[in-house]
Amino acid sequence: MRALANRLSSLRWRRRSKGFRWDRTQIILTIFLAAFGYFMLLPLIYIFNHALKPYSELFLFPPRIFVQEPTLSNFLEFFVVIQDSAVPVSRYLYNSVIVTGLGTLLVVVISALCAYPLAKHRFPGHQLVFSVIILSLMFVPEAIQIPRYVVVAKLGIMDTYWGHILPHIAAPVNVFLMKQFMDQVPNELLEAAKLDGAKEWRIFSRIMIPICIPAVATTAILSFQTIWNDASTSVLFMQNDAMKTFPYFLSTITNNLANQVARQGAAAAAGLIMFLPTLIIFLLFQRKVISTMAHSGIK
């Protein structure tokens, strides 16, 4: 009997293996997608290699992706440059950490609070509100710089941390992603919680948010990337240099260097240093991002 069972199991495995054989089209498509995936990695490979290039390779034409003689001299030059700053670099970095951390938290909370009633409550005008949010995606940041400046000036939050944070709180992309993800949560689950005596806040915090963790992580990543890399609030709303952020300081290093040789190594190192936090955060939560994108378009 045991021999017969082993024989049957081997036959089943062979049938399954035959069913999973790839045809020529699948093989070609897989090879094409793999090549395309490696091509998409080229910017990441370039930025790491560019930061390690000596001056003799920084100005080669045509430029090379891979470094031939890697060196850390660019980072040493960068540290020499930051020592000449009137305001300590630690102050810029401290401002960026405070603004990015608090701003990301507020964006996630406000986006979730906005998406929940749009997804699960049919109040009068909810479709109009959602349409306005979708319409706001059409405006480029340059089109709203003057209104943002007027609002920040009228509120009296120039040269404060709120001047950095408030312009980022209204994030229509994050509201859209959260709302589309919350639409997938069954209404019967929320009705059962209400029958058990749960209030709206308890349903939101104990049921909706844990289920929507992938969307929350995606919103946090997008917000972190936007706020961390943004130097416009320092330029527009901050007159006191001690209130400006790390991206603004790095931009002062890399500005007006298009036709100059000096500080090009420091600029290459600064670009990598600015990029690393975003890359690390994305790698930690990449599965959540893929899950959110997969569910946000499913109805």
How is residue 187 written in tokens? Answer: 């209404």
Q: Which of 127, 57, 96 is nearest to 226 (CA)?
A: 96
Residues 203-257: tens digit of each pLDDT = 888 888 888 888 888 888 888 888 988 888 888 888 888 888 888 888 777 665 5
The percent of residues in the chain predicted with pLDDT above 90, rounded, is 6
SS3 33: helix
Pick the CATH number of 87-296 from 3.40.50.970, 1.10.3720.10, 1.20.58.220, 1.10.645.10: 1.10.3720.10
Query: Residue type at 176?
Result: F
Residues 256-290: tens digit of each pLDDT = 554 556 677 777 888 888 888 888 887 877 776 66
Before 62, cis peptide (omega within 30)? yes
Q: What is the C-alpha to C-alpha distance for residues 290 and 299, in angstroms, rounded to an integer?
A: 17
Residues 56-98: tens digit of each pLDDT = 777 777 777 888 888 888 888 888 777 777 778 888 889 999 9
pTM, two decimals, is 0.76
The pLDDT, as a whole number, for residue 103 is 92
Residues 134-163: tens digit of each pLDDT = 888 888 777 888 888 888 888 888 888 998
Give domain limits for the chain: 23-71, 87-296
Give the Å distances, CA to CA, from 127 to 132, 193, 224. Answer: 9, 25, 29
H or E element that contains 108: helix 89-120
